[in-house]
Chain A
Amino acid sequence: MLKKYDRVLLSGCDTCVAECASGGRREVAELAAALQMAFRLAGKEMEIQESSVDRQCVHEFLLDVVEAAQEADAVLSLACGAGVQALAARLPETPVFPALNTLFIGETAERGLWLENCRGCGNCMLGLTGGICPVSRCAKSLMNGPCGGARNGLCEINLAKEIIPEVPCAWLQIYDRLLALGELDRLMELAPPKDWSCGDAAGPRRVLRPDQQA
């Protein structure tokens, strides 16, 4: 998609995607050098500029990159999907392309391993489940305990394919956590069917905070 342009600006984001080692200034530098060589091998001398901001999803942080983009034919953003869109909104006359493939809201579990621990589904249950989310961490998103398929503390999806590290049974984790807290009574109340209308079934979601508005 970038072939037809002569001057491309690579724009990184130094917060979440930097933590994920995928879109910070270091990765911008890697991709810039790699693209420079790739285009050269294809017989094209591409002018590539590098830029990075602290938060590409916040318009106030975009001043530098918007200014740098004035000299570019196109922008390749290494931010998450939200950052790409925020930047595109500030650059109505410049094509903005995503360099990443944003997958989920993740937790850095260990070096080089990120887990989807929040699906942003609304009506958060973490207060009931000991800070462990059954929506994102149970393969079936069950609301009231395990399915019966767990083996040795592990989710049965480990039987279907090799997953390293193995996926634990989230409901066993919830039970163990509440047992350690002495609060197993939290599990005595049945959770009603979840209202998914607050989740991604709701269409474009928004949060409105009048107290934060100008």
Chain B
Amino acid sequence: MSDNLTVVLMACRQAVPDPAVFLGPLEQAGLTARVIAEPCSSKVEVFQMLRTLAAEADLLWVVGCPEPACQLVEGSFRMAKRVGHAQDYLREIGLEPERLGMAQLPAGNQKALDATVDEILARVRKLGDNPARNRASA
């Protein structure tokens, strides 16, 4: 396993106004982390998820608001469907679909945030290096 695992988060600005809440604990845990701020989690396209896993991420997490709280009404619902579609791709090519995760976080809910960070850390440590990731450009 590589000693430098990379986690990328694509996070709705409403759910995660301050990316540091994720970056801090993930980097403290020894990971390379990047948070891509999105106007809404529904703006994340399937091809972006797949490209990110192909190019740089050992683990990718898409973070949106809880479905009833989405300012674009259907945004979190659509995000969940797209994550599912992207996971189907991963399954088909033989890569663990668990390398792509999602969370629907109520903004400002520290307990839910901590639980998500714990889940991300456990997941990336369990899965380790992404064998489909391009290491040449790392």
Contact = CB atoms under 8 A, between A and B. Distances in A.
Interface of A: 26-27, 29-30, 32-38, 40-41, 45
**Majority SS of interface residues in chain A?**
helix
Contacts of A34: 50, 89, 92-93
Contacts of A37: 50, 53-54, 90, 93, 95, 132-133
Contacts of A30: 46-47, 50, 89
Interface residues of B, number: 18
A24 to B, nearest CB: 11
B85 to A, nearest CB: 9
B45 A33 contact: no
Contacts of A40: 54, 131-134
Contacts, number: 48
Given A27-B47, A41-B132, 8 more contacts: A29-B47, A32-B47, A33-B47, A36-B134, A37-B90, A37-B95, A38-B94, A41-B93
Interface of B: 45-47, 50-51, 53-54, 89-90, 92-95, 131-134, 136
A113 to B, nearest CB: 15
B57 to A, nearest CB: 11
A33 B53 contact: yes
Nearest to B135: A40
B47 A36 contact: no
Nearest to A40: B132
A41 B131 CA distance: 6
21 contacts: A27-B47, A29-B45, A29-B47, A30-B46, A30-B89, A33-B47, A33-B50, A33-B51, A33-B54, A34-B50, A34-B89, A36-B54, A36-B134, A37-B50, A37-B53, A37-B93, A38-B93, A40-B54, A41-B93, A41-B95, A41-B131
Count chain B CB atoms within 10 A of each CB in A29, A34, A40 and give the residue with the most.
A34
The 6 closest A-B CB pairs, nearest first, are A33-B50, A37-B132, A29-B47, A38-B93, A30-B47, A33-B51
